[in-house]
Amino acid sequence: MAPITRSLSSTGTYWLVITLRLRYVPRLVPWKIRLTAKEGGVDLAFVQGGTNTSKDAQNLTSLGSVYYEPLWVFYRGGHHLNRIGDLAGKRIAVGEGGSGTRVVALQLLRDNGIQGPPTVLSSLGALDAANALLGGSLDAALVIASPRSAVVQKLLMADGIKLMSFERAEAYTRIHRYLSLVTLPEGVIDLQRIIPPTHTTLIAATANLVARSDLHPALVDLLLKAAQEVHGAGDLFERQDEFPSPKYLEFPLSDDAERFYKRGPSFLRRYLPFWAATFVERMVVLLIPIVALLWPLFRIIPPMYRWRVRSRIYRWYEDVKAVDLKADRDRSPERLATHMAELDRIEDQVNRISTPLPYADQLYDLRMHINLVRGKLERAMQNVTS
């Protein structure tokens, strides 16, 4: 499996600073198999609307639609055709087996009751179908491609080949929600030759960014930001800033993509490099449970600290009080001298206590009370000796 740093679409290239999984897979392997494969699959795919025939998400989510993929119906003949039903009985190219063109083309033909003889359906690819149409071996070709693709340009410019304007385009968009109505203005392809000669109504599917549901949220923001840069400018069918869009989806919209469409990139990703924003967000995710666990400790630690500091001071009050009570009970000269020596010992120990500055007042209060008892003993000793 080889890492890549870009993802290619039909209208531009995404130059990304991420690594997606890439492995060569035969073209006709269905995209759903590639996305859901446990080994050798892909993380992201451009999926044409209308190709998810099973309607089974299978742990897949959409990041949004990124551009229109119009259906071009080219045909030969002198008569103007404006309905799919007009193709009954003709030789029609509907795309290769497994292609998105074939899925949509067959659905539209079935909608119009065209399913078998005398209509002849051909499985030629777009380029072969164009050559067969120009050579006269086909009467019509249905192609889903960008207006700037070589095949579409070739057929638009060819003499004797006409482009169908869908008379019932609105009906198709109501029946199939993945389809949209788009208009090709008169002369937009070639103003000098006036191609197309009139305003032409087409129907179009959309290309959707479909990803595995376990795609990292950081990559969702990065991909959609790249999609805005590539597809936000618009094209022949897309208005400026119309894409990427949370509309025209066949898979559930990713929660991360929905947040991006509502609020844009996260605050950190707007102002920080991608790696820095991702690092900070990961740290926040890790710190939240840690803070939740430590918060009770944050509330307990300050009271415990105050109690610990004060206990160094308050425990000496018991000894000072004991000396004071003994002096009241026994005032003999010998006992008073003993009490004074005990008080000197207590004062010496108190002088060695180290306390933080905010608690210094309590230490000085203790020293003041020791001196108060000392004064009481000195007066008692003077009274005894006088």
| CATH number of the domain where residue 7 is located | 3.40.190.10
Nearest to 88 by CA among 98, 75, 97, 99: 75
Quick one: what percent of the chain has pLDDT higher than 70? Answer: 87
Please give the residue that has the higher pLDDT: either 327 or 128. 128
* Number of independent structural domains in the chain: 2
pTM for the whole structure: 0.64
Q: Tell me if 245 is assigned to some domain.
A: yes
- Name the token pair of 179: 């389809």
Is the pLDDT at 222 greater than 80? The verdict is yes
Q: CA separation (Å) from 187 to 67, 71, 155, 192, 236?
A: 22, 19, 15, 8, 12
DSSP, collapsed to helix, strand or coil, labels residue 331 as coil
Q: How confident is the model at residue 11 (pLDDT cuts 50, 70, 90)?
A: very low
- Name the token pair of 313: 């001071």
Is the pLDDT at 28 greater than 60? The verdict is no
pLDDT per position as a tens digit, 67-86: 999 999 999 987 889 999 99
| Residue 177 and residue 109 share a domain | yes
pLDDT at 332: 83
330: left (phi over 0), alpha (psi -120 to 50) or beta: beta
pLDDT per position as a tens digit, 268-313: 666 677 667 667 777 777 788 888 888 887 788 888 888 888 888 8
Domain boundary among 265, 296, 316: 265
Q: Tell me if 153 is assigned to some domain.
A: yes
Please give the residue that has the higher pLDDT: either 275 or 52. 52
| Residue 97 and residue 174 share a domain | yes
| Residue 179 and residue 69 share a domain | yes
Q: Which domain holds residue 380?
A: 283-385
> What's the average model confidence in pLDDT over 118-145?
94
Residue identified by tokens 């990713």 is 254
Query: Sign of the C-alpha dihedral, residues 314, 319, 321, 322?
Result: positive
Give the other-Cβ count within 10 Å of 244's Cβ.
27
